[in-house]
Amino acid sequence: MRQLFIAKLFLWLLCLPIMATANNPATLAEQAEQAELREFLKKTITSADSFDDRFDAEVWLVDMSGRLARFVKKPKQRLKMLRAIHREATKAELKPDLVLALIEVESHFNEYAISRVGAQGLMQVMPFWKNEIGRPEDNLTDIDTNLSYGCRILQFYLKKEKGNWMNALARYNGSYGKYWYPERVMNAWRKRWFVNET
């Protein structure tokens, strides 16, 4: 009888933390957000068409989401942004981690950033490009549009410079011949975004 009482007491004590948090609104909200994030991550990974396989997608998105958290607080927003960055960088034959470093330097991941000279969005694209390619209605603060422009511009400069990242980054910034900007990007890359692909 005593053993049964002790077993019931032990079981009750184990359930106490669960019962205490079950009705806590903050805990319920956190659980709901976690469930929503989990579902979003599943969809993001499943439809991460720029990845060769689902496992690579999961590893990269989870890893980069942790790194990006200091700049973008909302997990869902981070995953959406990372998926777009990976997709557009891959289309432009660029390393996504280097594009992340460039974005950190250009806008600190503020999709609505506008520089003192009028460059816009994550990759700080100059609006004159819209007219140059006959698309004046494009919104450069739209993440997908901005990444598409920025990655293609960087791809062009990288090809022009025969793969020399320092020169391509200087051209991207409009500071060709000076290396303060490429050094900032490369420092951010080494410090926060580098992915060892061995």
> CATH number, domain at 84?
1.10.530
User: Within the chain, which residues score under 50 in pLDDT?
Assistant: 2-21, 37-38, 40-42, 44-48
Q: Which DSSP string do the residues of 1-47 spell out, in sequence order?
A: -HHHHHHHHHHHHHHHHHHHHHT-HHHHHHHHHHHHHHHHHHHHHHT
25 part of a folded domain: no
Domain of 102, in residue numbers: 31-193
Q: Tell me what pLDDT residue 32 has.
A: 67
Q: Tell me what pLDDT residue 143 has.
A: 97
7 part of a folded domain: no
Q: How many domains does the chain have?
A: 1
150 part of a folded domain: yes
Q: Tell me what pLDDT residue 19 has.
A: 45
Q: Which DSSP string do the residues of 38-91 spell out, in sequence order?
A: HHHHHHHHHT-TTSSSHHHHHHHHHHHHHHHTTT---HHHHHHHHHHHHHHHHH
Q: Tell me what pLDDT residue 55 has.
A: 77
Q: Tell me what pLDDT residue 170 has.
A: 96
19 part of a folded domain: no
Could you tell me which of 147, 182, 57 has the C-alpha nearest to residue 138? 147
10 part of a folded domain: no
8 part of a folded domain: no
Q: Tell me what pLDDT residue 103 has.
A: 99
Q: Tell me what pLDDT residue 134 has.
A: 83
Tens-place pLDDT, residues 40-97:
444 543 444 666 777 777 889 999 999 999 999 999 999 999 999 999 999 999 999 9
